[in-house]
Structure 1
Amino acid sequence: MRLCYPFIALLISLSCRVAAQAPVDSVTRSAAAPKREKISFFPIPIIFSQPETGLGYGAAILPVWRFGLDTTVRKSNARLIAWRTQEKQSLVQLTHSIFTPGEQYFISGELSYYYRFPINYYGTGPRTSRDDKSVIQYKVFIGQQRVLRRLKPNLFAGLQGRLTDLRDIQVNRDIERDGVVVAPSRLNERPLRERQNTRIVGIGPVLLYDHRDNVLSAYQGSYLEASALLNGGALGSDYRFSRYLLDARRYLSLDVNHKTVLAGQVVGQFQAGRVPFRELANLGGDKLLRGYYEGRYRDRQSVVAQVELRRQLFWRLNGVLFGGVGQVGNTLAGFDDGGLKYTGGAGLRFKFNRRDRLNIRFDYGVGRDGSTGFYFSFGEAF
C-alpha cells in the first residue's frame, strides 16, 4: 500500500476539481429543477501494485454523465485507462455503461488491448499447486458490446457480441524449484492448437434486471443477469463452445443515512464444448476471490459467493471488510474435488467523485493457501 501514498495528495486535489461544490450522495432523486452537469475529461495519474502486475503506472479518464435533465435516469459512465507494469505488461482499455434518455436502452461494452502480457499459469482444475507456476506471455485484443432494450422499468433484454483475438503465445519460463527447471509448463498439457493464434467470436442473448440506485457504488437495490454467449465457426471463431452466466447481487443500507451498506454476490459461469485455456472460467484477481492470483484456478465451470460490509469512515474515506468462497471444476460434479477456495480481507475507498460515488479502491486479500494480494482499481468489485 505504501506505493500509492505519494499519489494520494494528487488524487485529492484532482477530485476537488471533478466534484467541486458536489452535494452529499443521496438515494432520493431531487425534485428541484435540474441543471446540466459538466463532464470531466481530466486525466488522472495512477500508480499501483497487485499480484498480477507488480508495480504499475499510467493514467485514466473517468467521465460520468447523464443524458438529458431527467434525474430519474441513472448516470452513464466510461473509463479510458492505459498502464504499464514492471512485469512488462501493457494495457489500453475503454469500458462504458450508458443509459439512454428515459433508460430506453442500456448499452455497455469493452475494448481492450493487452500488449506483451506475461502471466503466471498454474494449469487447470481445482487441485493445482502454487508450485505448478510457469510464466506464459501473449498479446490479446478483446471487443465486447451489449445493446439491451427496456421491457419494463429496470428490466432489459437484448444481445451481446464478443471478439477475442489471441496472438504470439509463448512460454517464458517452465516450472521451477529453487531456480531449477523441474517440469515443462502445464500449458504444454493442453492441445497444441491452443498455443497458436486464436480468434473467438460469439453472440448471445442477455436478460438483465438492474434495480441498483447507482451502478458505480450502490447503496440499495438488486442486480440479476442471465446471459449466454454462443461461439461458433459460422461467425469466424476458431472454437465452438457455449458460455452461460448467472450473476445475482443484492445491496442493503443498514441505516437511514446509508453510512453502512451490506453487499452480496453469487455468480456462476458454466461452459459446454471445447474451451481453450484463456476462455476458461477462473478465480482470483480484483473482482472474484481477492487474495488469489487472477487465473490461479481455472476450469470449464465456476461458482463464487462473496459478501462486503462497506462503512463510511470520515471525510472521503470508506472502509470495507470482505470475504468469499468459490470453486472450479470440469463438471458440476467435479466441484467436490480439491476443497473449496475461500478468501477474506479489508480495504479502503477514496471518494474521488462524491457526487457520482466514483471510488478509488484499495483492497488487501488473503487466500486459503496463504496467497495474498493488494489491489488498486476504480469502482467497487461488484
Structure 2
Amino acid sequence: MIYTPKYPYRPFLLILLLICIYFPSRAQTDSTHTTDTTRAKEPSKFDRFNKKAEALFKIIPVPLYSYTTEAGHIFGLAKYNLLHFSKKDTISKPSKLSEVFTVSTNGRINASVSTEMVLKENKYVIMGYINYKKQPEFIYGIGNDISKNVFEEVQYSRFQFSATALQQWFKNFYAGAAVTVSDYFSIQPDSNSFLIRDNVPGLKGGLTVGVGLSTAYDSRDNRYNPSKGAYAIGTVLFHPAFLGSAYQFTRLDIDLRKYFNPWLKHVIALQATTTYTDGDVPFYELAEMGGDNKMRGYYMGAYRDNVLVDAQVEYRAPIWNIFGATAWAGTGRVANSYSDLSLDGFHLSYGLGLRIRVDSKNNTNLRFDMGFGPGGWQGFYINFAEAF
C-alpha cells in the first residue's frame, strides 16, 4: 500500500515551550563571584536556583515527547551524564553515558545505551552503542530521485551493537579496531513493495557482523561542545561470511570537522562526511541521508544508496546566561557510485536551533533544532550535545 503523508515530522511548539520552561531550572554555568573593594557580589536568585536544579538534572531522567506520522505519539525518558572514571586522572576529557527509552502509540519501541569512555590521560577512547528497536519505518525508494509524496511502510525489529576502541599513538592521533553486530528480523513490507518486486537484499533480514579498522585525529577543546580544533575519523568495516554475516559487503565512513572561534564565545563549525558501501548490501545498511545530526530536516533514510556525500556549516552564538542559538546550512546527496555524483542533484538543508546549558562544568548543552529542506521537508529534534 502506498501512503501520501503531509510531513514526515511535525514540530510541536507547545511542547518545546514547556520543555524550555522546564530545563532552564536544570542548567546553569558556574556562578562567577566578582569582588569589589568591600565584598563579593552575591549570585542572583536565577543563578542560585539553577545551580541547585542542575545537580538534580544529573540524577533524574528527562521526559520526552514527539510525534511522527509513522510512529504516532512518542513518549519516553532520556538520561545524559558526563563523568570522569578516575579522580586521579585530571587530564582526560570527560566520558559520556547516554540512555534513551521511548514507546509510541503505533507500536514503536526504542531503547539504547551509548557511551564514549576516555581513559588513561586521553590515551584510550572506547565508543560503544547498544540498541533495540521495533518500529514502522517509511521507505521512499533507493536512489537520489525519490518522490516525497510516495512511500511505503516497512515493519521490522532490530538489535544492534557497535564498538570502536582507539589508542593514542601520537599527539592527537588515534588508531584501533571497530566491530558491529546487527540482527534484523520480523521484516514486513507492503504486499506490493518494490522490495519484493525487485528482490532487494535485506528483505529476509538476518545477521550482519562487521570487523575493521578505525583511525582518528582529535584536537578539539571539548568533545561535546567544541569551540576550536579539528576532528577527523575514518572507519572501514568488512562483513565476511565466516563471521556469520548473512550479507557480504564493505562499508567506509569518513567524518571531517573543523571549529573556529572568531570572537568572544561565538563558534563557526564545519563538517563534511561521506559513506561508501559495496557488495551485497541490505537496504537497511545502505548509506542514508538525513537525521538529527546531518542534513537535519530530512527523514533519516528517505534518500539511500551505495554512496553518500554531505557537508554543513553552523554558526553558534550565546544569547544570555545559559541560553544560546544556532543557524546552519547544509547540502548532500546519495548516488549508486562516486562517478554518478553531479552538482545538480544536491539537496539543501537549513534551520535554526535553541541551546540550553545543562552541564556547566563540562559546558554541554541540550539542543532543540528545527530543520527544513525545499519541497516541504522538515524535522524537529531534541537531543544532548551539539550535532557535530
Q: RMSD value over aligned CA atoms?
A: 2.2
Q: 1:190 to 1:212 in 2, by over 3 A?
A: farther
1:234 and 2:246 matched: no
**Equivalent residues, number:** 353
Q: Partner of 1:369: helix, strand, or coil?
A: coil
Q: 1:128 to 1:338 in 2, by over 3 A?
A: farther
Describe the superposition over 1:155-206 as per-residue Cα deviations: whole angstroms up to 9, x where unpaired: 11000100010010112x57xxxxxxxxx33322442652213111000000
Counterpart residue number, 2:370: 364
Describe the superposition over 1:253-292 as per-residue Cα deviations: whole angstroms up to 9, x where unpaired: 111x3x2100010000011111110000011111121111
Counterpart residue number, 2:23: 11
Letter in 2 for 1:340: F
1:140–1:166 CA contact under 8 A, matched in 2: yes
Identity over aligned residues, as a percent?
29
Q: Partner of 2:16: helix, strand, or coil?
A: helix
Counterpart residue number, 2:160: 142
Q: Partner of 1:187: helix, strand, or coil?
A: helix
Q: Partner of 1:106: helix, strand, or coil?
A: strand
Letter in 1 for 2:127: S
Q: Partner of 2:92: helix, strand, or coil?
A: coil
Counterpart residue number, 2:139: 121
1:279 and 2:285 matched: yes
Counterpart residue number, 2:124: 105
- The whole-number CA distance in structure 1 between the counterparts of 2:132 and 2:21 is 30
Shift of 1:23: 6.8
1:348 and 2:354 matched: yes
1:84 and 2:76 matched: no
- The whole-number CA distance in structure 2 between the counterparts of 1:290 and 1:158 is 30
Counterpart residue number, 2:74: 56
Describe the superposition over 1:41-85 as per-residue Cα deviations: whole angstroms up to 9, x where unpaired: 432222234677554221122121123344332111110111123
Q: 1:285 to 1:75 in 2, by over 3 A?
A: same
Q: 1:348 to 1:162 in 2, by over 3 A?
A: same
Shift of 1:327: 1.1
1:325–1:340 CA contact under 8 A, matched in 2: yes
Specify which of 323, 328, 334 is matched with residue 334 of structure 2.
328
Q: Partner of 2:341: helix, strand, or coil?
A: helix
1:298 and 2:304 matched: yes
Specify which of 187, 190, 193 is matched with residue 185 of structure 1.
193
Counterpart residue number, 1:169: 187
Counterpart residue number, 2:39: none
Could you tell which deviates more after superposition, 78-87 or 122-131? 78-87
1:207 and 2:215 matched: yes
- The whole-number CA distance in structure 1 between the counterparts of 2:121 and 2:269 is 27
- The whole-number CA distance in structure 2 between the counterparts of 1:52 and 1:353 is 34
1:52–1:294 CA contact under 8 A, matched in 2: no
Q: Which runs of 5+ in 2 are unaligned?
A: 1-12, 34-54
Specify which of 247, 256, 264 is matched with residue 248 of structure 1.
256
Q: 1:78 to 1:190 in 2, by over 3 A?
A: farther
Counterpart residue number, 1:93: 112
Counterpart residue number, 2:386: 380
Q: 1:22 to 1:151 in 2, by over 3 A?
A: farther
TM-score (norm 2): 0.85
